[in-house]
Chains A and B, each alone.
Chain A
Amino acid sequence: MTELHRLTLAELNEGLRARRFSSVELARHFLARIERFNPTLNAFITVTAEQALAAAQKADELIAAGEAQPLAGLPVVHKDIFCTDGVLTTCGSKMLSNFVAPYDATVVERLAQAGVVMLGKTNMDEFAMGSSNENSWYGPVRNPWDTKKVPGGSSGGSAAAVAARLAPAATGTDTGGSIRQPAALTGLSGFKPTYGRVSRYGMIAFASSLDQAGTLTATIRDGAMLLAHMAGFDARDSTSVDTPVPDYLGTLEQPLAGLKVGLLREFFEKGLDEESGKLVREALRLYEKLGAKLIEVSLPNLPLSVPAYYVVAPAECSSNLSRFDGARFGHRCEKPKDLLDMYKRSRGEGFGDEVKRRIMTGTYVLSAGYYDAYYLRAQKVRRLITDDFARAFKQVDVLMGPTSPTPAFDIGAKVDDPVTMYLNDIYTIGANLAGLPACSVPCGQSGGLPVGLQIIGPHFAEAKLLNVAHWYQRETEWHKRIPRGYE
């Protein structure tokens, strides 16, 4: 059974149901791999071996009794941003290094109801702020394709875990590219649904108007399997949208003939790694062969997405992170001498540099006298970008381009230069600002490192997006590649 980790989630599901192996065997297999490889990769903050084996045991009983839920017995790992009842939930921060959540996030709850077995909680940039996973209080995550390289961020632990096949699937969150960019850098399929499609309840907020939960899996089909259970209205999240969840798996194979694909002109301009650009263009030609029509489109305001994002996201984060004050949960400094001292030291000690930088930026842009010049103007830019996308989707069904300007870079290469680091998100941020669904699929390798193709769709076009991305994986093998040493 040594090859279990080479199977996709869909194949594992089939095998479990056919009783070719048990859920307990699966859990043991992956837990053993975590034990073996995690010391190198640092993909996990918490491994919940005991609970996983108990849940797997129960899943096996249900399968045997013919009462299994649709995803019964399938191992999954959660980004440590999702609250998990009775399990440490750190958000990659010292601030929450002692926080055992008293409830399950809706995503965690729904997947558990569908029968998945949680193996553990994955490492991440602190409070999801970062593009390299170097901002975790639990240390950087390493890219299994090259352990000197970053896996991307902020869902870097989820990406590394699935890329190294320490788990067949992971949840992640995407505020400015935090699912798609690490998926691209580790050769995975990363899917970010429409804002409001998946409940944010129990997902520790970074920037509330941008945060969205999604999946990191080997294949798009695997992502669709999970998404089918994660998506849907949740009365506990006022921004969750009450529209029916279509049958994502049912439309995966629909032919693409007549599909209109928009090429984002702005995405192929300066700053894009040459080899990556070549691979993405090749992918586009493949779509042409499949019957799609390529149309060049321009989103003139898109170049403003990075500055707009780095006003809106810090503004929201500065307020969202105010609750971490040392009073009720999380880190509290030793022997505070008064209230102000408790606030200052608890927060000063509990937050890392990048989080502090964004809290300060956000506080500044919301301050009296600066609000109009920064926050309000950024919101206007956001509206313009959203309108640009809406105009483009009148012409085309989906937009395509690169996910990341470069493949994975060296750990430490950009840590001292936040602005260069922020530019990693240049292609992904637009979809967050406009609330659009988007995904990344592996489309080749540059210097032995994976490159991602990004596909963006109109609001609530998840089924279409999955269908389009899946066809690429029908025709190519990139998603089947496993980094050396982890086969």
Chain B
Amino acid sequence: MTMSWETVIGLEIHAQLATGSKIFSSAPTAYGAAPNTQANLVDLGYPGVLPVLNREAVRMAVKFGLAVGATVASRSVFARKNYFYPDLPKGYQISQYEKPIVEKGRLEIVLDDGARKTIGITRAHLEEDAGKSLHEDFQGQSGIDLNRAGTPLLEIVSEPDMRSAKEAVAYLKKVHTLVRYLEICDGNMQEGSFRCDANVSVRRVGADKLGTRCEIKNLNSFRFIEKAINYEVARQIEVIEGGGTIKQETRLYDPDKGETRALRSKEEANDYRYFPDPDLLPVALDDAFISTVRATLPELPDEKAARYMQKFGLSLYDAGVLTASREMGDYYEAVVSGVPGHEKLAANWVMGELSGALNKDGIEVTQSRIDAKRLAGLLVRIADATISGKIAKEVFEQMWAEGQDADAIIEAKGLRQITDTSAIEKTIDEVLAANPRQLADYRSGKDKLFGFFVGQVMKVTGGKANPAQVNELLKRKLSG
């Protein structure tokens, strides 16, 4: 057994802000248009054009800053990051360097063992996205699509506070949830609206100094991030244990091969020659503006989860799942309002049957085939003992498939639960009479046969007998 290692991870998240137009031009930001149809002269970096800051992007950045308890800078500065690349039309990217709009925030994640951990957010700054280089389909040449050029991004930089790939994923999911709650990013990872680079290093447990880090790029799904980090950690440990040293470099994750490979080393890195962009004035934000933005903050996921735990008596886990998206929380609360006093039942159904059905059909909760009111209608029938939980699952399936109300299905199929004591007793008597051998065995000490009798009663009643009553009456009969 080798000495144990500690992993240190920091994430840089690029969240595309959900503005209608670009950060410095009036061109639209919609995804998927024909190449170069959503880039105007400003995006194309034509001679003489000038950038004009999109106020909406600023508002969104401030919203994020407030939601992570950060300092929102009263004065932030746009700088130029200079480098040549064909998908960077001006030869520089407008970003924020020395004076970002958001500094010193934090988010709390919940670890597997239920413990909570705070992850520091160093900064979040506004910048413009570059275009895309397309290397396929152009024999020996590259195509350039500048639709994405100038799309507003919020780059969220964490402290190196995470100690495992799992923690990194938990933090990333937390940010993902938050930006969607705030309605500042659609969170679509396939389309690249939410992407992440990971800075990964390892050190001996107990060491003070951080190890040399590598930056992994191209991480566009939660699954890849976990795999890429785990691969990278193993690679670094292997190198060091083999007597080598880690080179500071940028590495690309290849999801097909499941490995990272070196892209460029620090020595080859550009000198970006940052300097304040003279075309843009510093962004000055006064307290009044910040208060206005604060007033638009929705209930945040952690606040919502705390409320579910306190008011509805849900567990930390359940509260976390139900607040993972704003839509899920809204749905759950709509169900609760239709079946008051049965919050846990509602939670179980939303997290269980409903989520299962949504996953199976690959749809979002907003597209659910059973709306919250109908689901509540079904749960009311469980709560008032009209049907059992088991029958309810059948009803749910039919509701999902055919879109009827629970009551209509219960009536039409005669699924109403039997709660009439005399009717249940009568069935029990019949079952006991029909199974004399099992009855004798039970009475001679084979307790396990109790379940057999319950099963028989349920079978005869087509599952409609109230299970609690069956249990109670059966116990009385058998002991009598």
Q: Which of A349-401 contact B (CB under 8 A)?
A: 363, 366-368, 371, 375
**Chain B residues whose CB sits within 8 angstroms of the CB of A375 once the complex forms:** 275
B114, CB-defined interface residue at 8 Å: no
Q: Which of B95-143 contact A (CB under 8 A)?
A: 142
Q: How far is the CB of A382 from chain B (nearest CB, A)?
A: 12
**Chain B residues whose CB sits within 8 angstroms of the CB of A239 once the complex forms:** 50, 278-281
A328, CB-defined interface residue at 8 Å: yes
Instruction: Give the distance in Å from the alpha carbon of A367 to the alpha carbon of B275 in the complex.
Output: 10
Name the one of A200, A202, A318, A328 contacting B45, with C-beta atoms under 8 angstroms. Answer: A328
Q: How far is the CB of A144 from chain B (nearest CB, A)?
A: 29
Q: In the complex, what residue of chain A is closest to B146 when comparing beta carbons?
A: A328
Stretch at the interface among B82-90, B204-212, B248-256, B349-357: B82-90
Q: Are A328 and B89 in contact (CB under 8 A)?
A: yes
Q: Mark B64-80, 1 if CB is under 8 A from A, else 0.
A: 00000000000000001
Q: Mark B212-235, 1 if CB is under 8 A from A, else 0.
A: 000000000000000000000000
B447, CB-defined interface residue at 8 Å: no
Q: How far is the CB of A439 from chain B (nearest CB, A)?
A: 24
A105, CB-defined interface residue at 8 Å: yes
Q: Are B275 and A319 in contact (CB under 8 A)?
A: yes
A2, CB-defined interface residue at 8 Å: no
Q: In the complex, what residue of chain B is closest to A315 when comparing beta carbons?
A: B275
Q: Are A238 and B47 in contact (CB under 8 A)?
A: no
Name the one of B53, B84, B273 contacting A366, with C-beta atoms under 8 angstroms. Answer: B273
**Chain B residues whose CB sits within 8 angstroms of the CB of A82 once the complex forms:** 48
Name the one of B50, B273, B275, B281 contacting A201, with C-beta atoms under 8 angstroms. Answer: B50
Q: Are B41 and A319 in contact (CB under 8 A)?
A: no
Name the one of B41, B84, B89, B273 contacting A102, with C-beta atoms under 8 angstroms. Answer: B41
Q: Are B279 and A371 in contact (CB under 8 A)?
A: no
Instruction: Give the distance in Å from the alpha carbon of A375 to the alpha carbon of B271 in the complex.
Output: 15
Instruction: Give the distance in Å from the alpha carbon of A101 to the alpha carbon of B44 in the complex.
Output: 13
Q: Are B86 and A238 in contact (CB under 8 A)?
A: no
Q: Mark B253-272, 1 if CB is under 8 A from A, else 0.
A: 00000000000000000010
A325, CB-defined interface residue at 8 Å: yes
**Chain B residues whose CB sits within 8 angstroms of the CB of A316 once the complex forms:** 278
A486, CB-defined interface residue at 8 Å: no
Stretch at the interface among A24-32, A204-212, A271-279: A204-212
Given contacts A239-B281, A319-B275, contact A102 B46 (CB under 8 A): yes
Instruction: Give the distance in Å from the alpha carbon of A207 to the alpha carbon of B278 in the complex.
Output: 8
B377, CB-defined interface residue at 8 Å: no
Given contacts A238-B50, A323-B91, contact A208 B275 (CB under 8 A): no
Q: Are B47 and A209 in contact (CB under 8 A)?
A: no
Q: How far is the CB of B202 from chain A (nearest CB, A)?
A: 28
Given contacts A319-B82, A322-B90, A323-B89, contact A204 B275 (CB under 8 A): no
A141, CB-defined interface residue at 8 Å: no
Q: How far is the CB of A369 from chain B (nearest CB, A)?
A: 9
Given contacts A319-B273, A367-B271, contact A325 B84 (CB under 8 A): yes
Q: In the complex, what residue of chain A is closest to B53 when comparing beta carbons?
A: A238
Q: Are A339 and B86 in contact (CB under 8 A)?
A: yes
A236, CB-defined interface residue at 8 Å: yes
**Chain B residues whose CB sits within 8 angstroms of the CB of A99 once the complex forms:** 47
Q: How far is the CB of A201 from chain B (nearest CB, A)?
A: 5
Given contacts A367-B273, A371-B275, contact A319 B92 (CB under 8 A): yes
Q: Mark B38-62, 1 if CB is under 8 A from A, else 0.
A: 0001001111111111000000000
Instruction: Give the distance in Å from the alpha carbon of A203 to the alpha carbon of B82 in the complex.
Output: 21
Instruction: Give the distance in Å from the alpha carbon of A408 to the alpha carbon of B50 in the complex.
Output: 35
Q: Which of A196-227 contact B (CB under 8 A)?
A: 200-205, 207-209
Given contacts A323-B90, A328-B45, contact A238 B281 (CB under 8 A): yes
Q: How far is the CB of B338 from chain A (nearest CB, A)?
A: 50
A327, CB-defined interface residue at 8 Å: yes
B358, CB-defined interface residue at 8 Å: no
- Total contacting residues, chain B, CB less than 8 A: 29
Instruction: Give the distance in Å from the alpha carbon of A82 to the alpha carbon of B48 in the complex.
Output: 8
Q: Are A201 and B49 in contact (CB under 8 A)?
A: yes
B383, CB-defined interface residue at 8 Å: no
Q: Are B52 and A236 in contact (CB under 8 A)?
A: yes
Given contacts A208-B279, A239-B279, A319-B80, contact A101 B47 (CB under 8 A): yes
B454, CB-defined interface residue at 8 Å: no
Instruction: Give the distance in Å from the alpha carbon of A329 to the alpha carbon of B41 in the complex.
Output: 11
Q: Are B91 and A319 in contact (CB under 8 A)?
A: yes
A456, CB-defined interface residue at 8 Å: no
**Chain A residues whose CB sits within 8 angstroms of the CB of B273 once the complex forms:** 318-319, 363, 366-368, 371
**Chain B residues whose CB sits within 8 angstroms of the CB of A319 once the complex forms:** 80, 82, 91-92, 273, 275
**Chain B residues whose CB sits within 8 angstroms of the CB of A162 once the complex forms:** none
Q: Are B41 and A103 in contact (CB under 8 A)?
A: yes
**Chain A residues whose CB sits within 8 angstroms of the CB of B45 once the complex forms:** 323, 328
Q: Are A238 and B41 in contact (CB under 8 A)?
A: no
Q: Mark A88-103, 1 if CB is under 8 A from B, else 0.
A: 0101000010010111
Q: In the complex, what residue of chain A is closest to B87 when comparing beta carbons?
A: A327
**Chain B residues whose CB sits within 8 angstroms of the CB of A237 once the complex forms:** 50, 52
Q: How far is the CB of A253 from chain B (nearest CB, A)?
A: 36
Q: Mark B12-54, 1 if CB is under 8 A from A, else 0.
A: 0000000000000000000000000000010011111111110
Given contacts A209-B278, A238-B52, A315-B275, contact A96 B47 (CB under 8 A): yes
B391, CB-defined interface residue at 8 Å: no
Q: Are A202 and B275 in contact (CB under 8 A)?
A: no
A83, CB-defined interface residue at 8 Å: yes
Q: Are A105 and B48 in contact (CB under 8 A)?
A: yes
**Chain A residues whose CB sits within 8 angstroms of the CB of B90 once the complex forms:** 322-323
Q: How far is the CB of B44 from chain A (nearest CB, A)?
A: 6
Instruction: Give the distance in Å from the alpha carbon of A89 to the alpha carbon of B48 in the complex.
Output: 11
Q: How far is the CB of B43 from chain A (nearest CB, A)?
A: 11
Q: Are B47 and A322 in contact (CB under 8 A)?
A: no
**Chain A residues whose CB sits within 8 angstroms of the CB of B46 once the complex forms:** 102-103, 323, 328-329
Q: In the complex, what residue of chain B is closest to A83 when comparing beta carbons?
A: B48
Kindly list 15 other residue pairs between chains A and B, CB separation below 8 angstroms, not including A203-B48, A327-B86. Answer: A101-B48, A102-B46, A103-B48, A201-B50, A318-B82, A318-B273, A323-B91, A324-B47, A327-B89, A327-B144, A328-B45, A329-B47, A330-B47, A366-B274, A366-B275
Complex A-B: 28 CB contacts under 8 Å: A83-B48, A89-B47, A91-B47, A101-B47, A101-B48, A200-B50, A202-B48, A204-B47, A205-B48, A205-B279, A237-B50, A238-B52, A238-B280, A239-B279, A319-B80, A321-B91, A322-B84, A323-B45, A323-B47, A324-B47, A327-B144, A328-B44, A328-B46, A339-B86, A339-B142, A363-B273, A366-B273, A375-B275
Which residues on A are within 8 Å of B, measured CB to CB? 82-83, 89, 91, 96, 99, 101-103, 105, 200-205, 207-209, 235-239, 315-316, 318-319, 321-325, 327-330, 339, 343, 363, 366-368, 371, 375
Which residues on B are within 8 Å of A, measured CB to CB? 41, 44-53, 80, 82, 84, 86, 89-92, 142, 144, 271, 273-275, 278-281
Minimum-distance CB pairs A-B, first 4: A322-B91, A209-B278, A366-B273, A208-B278
